């Protein structure tokens, strides 16, 4: 017979000898920092009919289907509808996550992400924790991983580029060129294949894409010298210890000679919200 000494966390066997309990390690949360597009889905026939009754009101006459949906979900009296909807993050056109708001504030962010005229330039950044697969009834039959949403940023590519600080005392032509280069870099980095925003490396890159203006300044400076962006290298930093550090290396190739220059930034991705620990700086590979 074995009894448990609850006061000290020990097991006592039939001879009264103590054995230390072995606890299974708790796995770290599956953090997500993903770039994609938020979409709303009607999860059931009952909700579909309820929504139809709401938008049948004469005040919705003349609105497009998408505009009517947005108005219905943003109306305070229809809060129950917003809570009943299924929310999905699509990445490169593929349904990737079912989104679940933690609180009413996150629900507001999801509703605000419903565009009246969605297009390929829309960009949503979802920060949260990935959990279990969604039950079929949660989002119209989709059985995808659920992400509990802690933060959500919504904008389009042009809005992000316009918000970047442009070179000081620059001419209109220079500013236009800077924005064109930045838009090209944003397109390249946000369309890298199989980036679901779950690995440390993916989270580090996605953070830099939307929160680190120096990335775009460097690309513009390189192109002024005839050196164009050619790729990115991601790896865990040897400096990682108690913290998880990722090295993001941007590669730029001389358009005439093909010689590659590299710029490195280190990003701490230990917690939900990454941050830069080493600013972007020229990097030379060992032996190069």
pLDDT digits (tens, 9 = 90+) for 255-268: 989 899 999 999 99
- Residue that is last in its domain, among 156, 184, 216: 156
Domain that holds residue 100: 30-156
- Residue that is last in its domain, among 138, 156, 174: 156
- Please provide the DSSP assignment of 212-257 as one string: -THHHHHHHHHHHTTEEEEEEEEEE-TT-SSS-EEEEEEEEEETTT
Q: Is 225 exposed, middle or buried (0-12, 13-18, 19+ CB in 10 A)?
A: exposed
Q: Do residue 174 and residue 254 come from a single domain?
A: yes
Angle at 195 between CA 191 and CA 199, to 5 degrees: 150
When pLDDT is averaged across residues 146-165 and rounded to a whole number, the result is 93
Q: Do residue 80 and residue 108 come from a single domain?
A: yes
- 136 inside domain: yes
| pLDDT, tens only, 66-81 | 999 999 999 999 999 9
Sign of the CA dihedral with 73 first, then 75, 78, and 80 last: positive
pLDDT at 66: 93
When pLDDT is averaged across residues 14-38 and rounded to a whole number, the result is 73
Report the run of H or E that residue 214 belongs to, with start and end. Answer: helix 214-224
Q: Do residue 52 and residue 150 come from a single domain?
A: yes
Provide the whole-model pTM: 0.86
- 206 inside domain: yes
Q: Do residue 112 and residue 181 come from a single domain?
A: no
- 3 inside domain: no
- 21 inside domain: no
If pLDDT is split at 50, 70 and 90, which confidence band does 165 have? Answer: confident
Q: Do residue 171 and residue 204 come from a single domain?
A: yes
State how beta strands 10-12 and 18-20 pair: antiparallel
- 179 inside domain: yes
Q: Which residue has the higher pLDDT, 3 or 203?
A: 203
Q: How far apart are CA 56 and CA 53, in angstroms?
A: 5
Q: Do residue 250 and residue 177 come from a single domain?
A: yes
Q: Do residue 152 and residue 170 come from a single domain?
A: no
- 185 inside domain: yes
If pLDDT is split at 50, 70 and 90, which confidence band does 21 have? Answer: low
pLDDT at 133: 95
Q: Do residue 96 and residue 137 come from a single domain?
A: yes
pLDDT at 172: 85
Query: Cβ atoms within 10 A of the Cβ of 38, count?
Result: 26
Q: Do residue 231 and residue 212 come from a single domain?
A: yes
Sign of the CA dihedral with 145 first, then 150, 154, and 158 last: negative
pLDDT at 6: 47
- 62 inside domain: yes
Number of domain units in the chain: 2
Reduce the secondary structure of 2-69 to three states and give it as a string: CEEECCCCEEECCCCCEEECCCCCCCCCEEEEEEEEEEEECCCHHHHHHHHHHHCCHHHCCCCHHHHH
- 276 inside domain: yes
- Residue that is last in its domain, among 126, 156, 186: 156
| pLDDT, tens only, 106-146 | 999 999 999 999 888 999 999 999 999 999 999 989 999 99
DSSP state, 191?
Answer: T
If pLDDT is split at 50, 70 and 90, which confidence band does 241 have? Answer: confident
Average pLDDT for the chain: 89
Q: Do residue 227 and residue 148 come from a single domain?
A: no
pLDDT at 222: 93
Q: Do residue 185 and residue 222 come from a single domain?
A: yes
Q: Do residue 36 and residue 111 come from a single domain?
A: yes
| pLDDT, tens only, 6-19 | 445 545 555 555 55
| pLDDT, tens only, 270-281 | 999 999 999 999
């Amino acid at each position: 017979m074995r009894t448990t000494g609850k006061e000290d966390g020990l097991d006592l066997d039939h001879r009264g000898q103590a054995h230390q309990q072995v606890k299974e390690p708790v796995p770290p949360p599956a953090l997500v920092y993903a770039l994609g597009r938020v979409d709303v889905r009607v999860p059931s026939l009952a909700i579909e009919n309820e929504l139809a009754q709401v938008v049948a009101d004469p005040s919705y006459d003349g609105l497009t289907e998408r505009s009517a949906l947005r108005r219905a979900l943003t109306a305070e009296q229809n809060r129950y509808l917003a809570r009943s909807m299924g929310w999905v993050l699509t990445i490169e056109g593929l349904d990737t996550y079912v989104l679940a708001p933690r609180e009413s504030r996150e629900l507001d962010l999801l509703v605000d992400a419903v565009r009246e005229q969605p297009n390929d330039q829309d960009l949503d950044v979802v920060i949260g924790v990935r959990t279990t697969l969604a039950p079929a009834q949660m989002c119209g039959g989709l059985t995808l991983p659920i992400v509990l949403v802690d933060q959500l940023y919504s904008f389009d590519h042009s809005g992000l580029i316009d918000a970047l600080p442009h070179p000081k005392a620059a001419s209109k032509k220079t500013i236009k060129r800077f924005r064109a280069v930045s838009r090209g870099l944003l397109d390249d980095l946000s369309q890298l294949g199989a980036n679901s925003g779950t690995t440390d490396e993916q989270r580090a890159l996605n953070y830099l894409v939307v929160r680190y203006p120096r990335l775009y300044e460097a690309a513009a400076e390189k192109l002024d010298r005839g050196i164009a962006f050619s790729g990115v290298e991601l790896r865990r930093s040897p400096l990682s210890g108690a913290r998880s550090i990722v090295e993001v290396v941007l590669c730029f190739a001389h358009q005439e000679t093909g010689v590659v220059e590299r710029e490195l930034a280190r990003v701490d991705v230990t917690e939900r919200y990454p941050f830069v620990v080493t600013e972007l700086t020229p990097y030379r590979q060992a032996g190069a």
